[in-house]
Structure 1
């Protein structure tokens, strides 16, 4: 399998990857895409493969709490224009960024203070995306591209550019909401919940926590009390299943956001489905949150090729070593146990990989045509 992979001819495919949330050289926020580029023998030059710790724009960690920032912010207008000429596609995997308190780990507030080191969708990012759109080149973005800390002005420009709107809500499934058991529950989330509810955080089961950017409002749906099944699922349309090889339904236990697409421009390939009971549905309605909302949207035929993934789709706990074997997907069942509600490897193998495979194949094989050749009306 390695020899078949090694002797498969490579194809030069220039991907401009933007990741501002790289805490370690492992590059968790863009590893899935780099894995796929390597497995498909797509190279940044005629010979050089993509390196996960090198080939992206954003935050670059170094030893001893040192770092380098090599984002698009350093590019002039002419350099951005040249990059849009050179690049075959753009993929914004994460712009959440890096905060001082998570980077320095200790002595925060004493010597380095709080706040953001780097992050948010910048003017240069938007200018580059606009140039790529004008050239009708493939653009893929995902959560968190326009959430905090992106400014409202830049978010609105992105929304107008691509025909979608973020509601301000983000959410995540937790397999245990008991603070005495799950020590990884975000402290700020519990603090915000207690500040806005008369009844303090006292959840004991699994569930989904929703956080609103405006004011930090927190809503919790707990298993049995609000949910028939606590795990969020992604359900795919007929187009998503037939064209992109997506499963009818798959669990998704990680961060996601709630968006509203302009259906005149975009089509929904997949959507999140929450298994609520009557109490949970009423709680969602009271806070203006739908029980189903887009997971993957795609620009309709005739528009510049664009995809938005409403989740941390590129962040999966996979290993690059498996990408060096052709036909490795025949053994994908060995890489995950989908009975574990928190595992995300099955999402990579059953959803992300077939989706991205088809997107890339269409873009590479039909570079002069819209990749959205299937009618989405």
Structure 2
């Protein structure tokens, strides 16, 4: 009986450890990836942390054979020395991933930031940086950009150039679902703008939606005006392209964009509202369903209309396709990461790997 128990325990241990053993024995995959993140005020590197977890899981390495280091292998702002990192110098790469260019402000470096708008220390995509990135992109290079890549403090001129390259136009609106409109997640600048605009104090409680325009116009939907959070769902084109991606609730910042001709919409957001909430958005010209992931096949560009790589949690263990385990336990903000973003990035990285190996080119 004891022998049987020991055998069962050993088999269970082997089952648990086998993915890690497989990952350790797996041959590393070399991809040259330029990660652009101008918004790194603290040492958690959260704006690109989610991407690096996918890279580690797939054992994607730099050209020198080392795993990508979340604290070193990006271009942007150094939270230790509080200065700009070495700027990107154009050279041929397999992938360019722009996670955020919002930048770092003086308030961000305070021990207890109050969320007020403050002096810009570093941030915004300038034309020289953008041209350098585009000189590094050929027809085999995948370009990915996320929410806040072409918004303020990037100039309007550069923003329009970036939008044209990505195959979209931005409405000027951003939004977010909040589980509680009374918690500390609400930026102080958002509260200040609302109070100035509405001429009344911020007294919201419970779940709600916030929409903000580049003109500082603010629209708040309270819990009586919404039915839930924001649903992320693949389109028919997206289902064909991303076989392992699941629908999920998206609970972070997004922007409202429209595709240009030749741009495919691979996933959409849908906001479930009560009639009174839908009427409020309609009056402002804000849609309740709009693109989440856009793709230009001829140019190999993706745009994620959200903060997808922004993820502040760390997995307990490392192995390939770890999302197949975590997706069963994911909830709240983690749900989107493990059910939608992680498998989508795996598929996009697989495309880049096959393209580098000549597989896609041969087809």
Offset at residue 372 of structure 1 (A): 11
Give the Cα–Cα distance (whole angstroms) in 2 for the partners of residues 164 and 4 of structure 1: 41
Q: CA deviation at 1:161?
A: 2.1
2:313 is aligned, of 307, 314, 318, to: 318
Contact 1:10 1:46 in 2 (8 A): no
Contact 1:16 1:89 in 2 (8 A): yes
Q: Which residue of 1 aligns with 2:22?
A: 4
Matched residue SS, 2:177: strand
Per-residue CA distance 1:15-52 (angstroms, 9 max, x = gap) = 00001111223211111111111111111124211111
- Match status 1:70 vs 2:85: yes
- Which residue does the alignment assign to 2:323? 329
Quote the Cα distance in structure 1 between the aligned partners of 2:194 and 2:180: 16
Aligned position for 1:93: 99
What secondary structure, in the 3-state scheme, does the structure 1 residue paired with 2:46 have?
coil
Q: CA deviation at 1:199?
A: 5.2
CA contact (8 A) 1:305 1:371 kept: no
**Deviation by residue 1:38-91 (Cα, 9 ceiling, x = unmatched):** 1111111242111110000000111xxx4231253xx5xxx42xx2x2x11100
TM-score scaled by structure 2? 0.87
RMSD (Å), alpha carbons: 2.5
Question: What do residues 85-127 of structure 1 show as CA deviations (whole Å, max 9, x unaligned)?
Answer: 2x1110001111100011134799xxxx941110111223310
Maintained 8 Å contact 1:23/1:61: yes
Tell me the matched-pair count: 343
Change (3 A) 1:212 1:53: same
Structure 2 gap ranges (5+): 1-18
In 1: Cα distance, 2:321 partner to 2:139 partner: 34
Correspondences of 1:233-312 after superposition (within 5 Å) = 233-245=231-243, 247=245, 249-262=247-260, 264-300=261-297, 303-312=298-307
Distance 1:207 1:246, change over 3 A: farther
The CA distance in 2 between the partners of 1:169 and 1:71, in whole Å, is 32
Q: CA deviation at 1:357?
A: 0.7
Q: Where does 1:133-152 land on structure 2 (aligned, <5 Å)?
A: 133-152=137-156
Structure 1, gaps ≥5 residues long: none
